[in-house]
């Protein structure tokens, strides 16, 4: 195992085991081994194919995860890509795409695309597209355009509240849905729908519907 107090470099490639007692500041980082940083990670680009744990914040223009990434602080990125698994707290990104497993507290982005599984408390974006491969849970989901369906037979979303201008949902179990235009597929179950326009497919289950101006 290699241990450093702090790292400040142009490029950092790790294929073994690295522990940093404080922060890591680099331009380009590639972690294919086991990396633990007891501080912040700041870089232009980072690729994680091993196991990385960050106790502080993670800030980068581009983050790509094919292994596992855990961040205890705030994660900020222009582009975030995940084909592995991530455990994050608060995430702020322009583009967030995942084909793996995502666990986080809050996610705030311009555009979100999930073709995997997600567990979160609050997710908000202009454009949200979920094509789920396994069961997912979100407390609050808010966006201008919200589309939820599934990619595999066991993909299903449970949510307390979903709101958007244009909302299309299938394979969901939701407490309340609010929107301008709401479309529910045949495998959607919603307790309360409030919308200007509501389209409900045969087979969908709706407790109550209220048209709003």
Q: What is the pLDDT of residues 124-157, one digit of tens each?
A: 999 999 999 999 999 999 999 999 999 888 899 9
CA angle 131/136/137 to nearest 5° reads 130
Q: How far apart are CA 103 and CA 86, in angstroms?
A: 6
Nearest to 29 by CA among 45, 9, 5: 45
Query: How does pLDDT run across 37-72, given as a tens digit for each residue?
Result: 999 999 999 999 999 999 999 999 999 999 999 999
Residue 212: phi and psi, rounded to 5, are -115, 155
Q: CA–CA separation, 146 vs 165, rounded Å?
A: 8
> What is the model's pLDDT at position 152?
84
d(CA 200, CA 207): 12
- b/e code 24-56 from CB counts within 10 Å (16+ = b): bbbebbbbbbbbbbebbbbbebbbbbbbbbbbb
**pLDDT of 9 higher than 90:** no
**Residue 6 — pLDDT band, cuts 50, 70, 90?**
confident
Q: Taking 80 as the threshold, does the pLDDT of residue 91 lie above it?
A: yes
- The whole-number pLDDT of residue 4 equals 58
Torsion, CA 190, CA 194, CA 199, CA 205, rounded to 10: 20
Task: Look at the pTM and tell me if it is higher than 0.85.
Answer: yes
Q: Please tell me the number of Cα atoms within 13 Å of 126 on its side-chain side.
A: 5
118's CB contacts (< 8 A; 6+ apart) are 98, 101, 102, 103, 104, 130, 132, 136, 137, 138
């Amino acid at each position: 195992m290699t241990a450093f107090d702090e790292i400040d470099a142009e490029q950092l490639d790790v294929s073994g085991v690295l522990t940093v007692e404080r922060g890591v500041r680099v331009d380009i980082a590639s972690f294919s081994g086991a990396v633990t940083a007891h501080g912040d990670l700041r870089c232009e680009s980072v690729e994680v194919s091993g196991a990385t744990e960050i106790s502080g914040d993670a800030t980068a223009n581009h983050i790509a995860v094919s292994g596992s990434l855990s961040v205890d602080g705030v994660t900020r990125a222009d582009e975030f890509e995940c084909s592995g698994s991530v455990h994050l707290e608060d995430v702020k990104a322009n583009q967030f795409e995942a084909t793996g497993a995502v666990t986080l507290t809050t996610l705030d982005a311009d555009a979100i695309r999930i073709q995997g599984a997600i567990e979160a408390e609050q997710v908000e974006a202009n454009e949200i597209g979920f094509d789920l491969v396994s069961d997912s849970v979100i407390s609050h989901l808010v966006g201008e355009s919200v589309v939820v369906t599934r990619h595999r037979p066991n993909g299903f979303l449970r949510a307390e509240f979903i709101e958007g201008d244009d909302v299309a949902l299938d394979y969901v179990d939701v407490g309340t849905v609010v929107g301008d235009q709401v479309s529910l597929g045949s495998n959607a179950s919603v307790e309360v729908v409030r919308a200007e326009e509501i389209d409900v497919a045969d087979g969908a289950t709706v407790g109550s519907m209220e048209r709003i101006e």
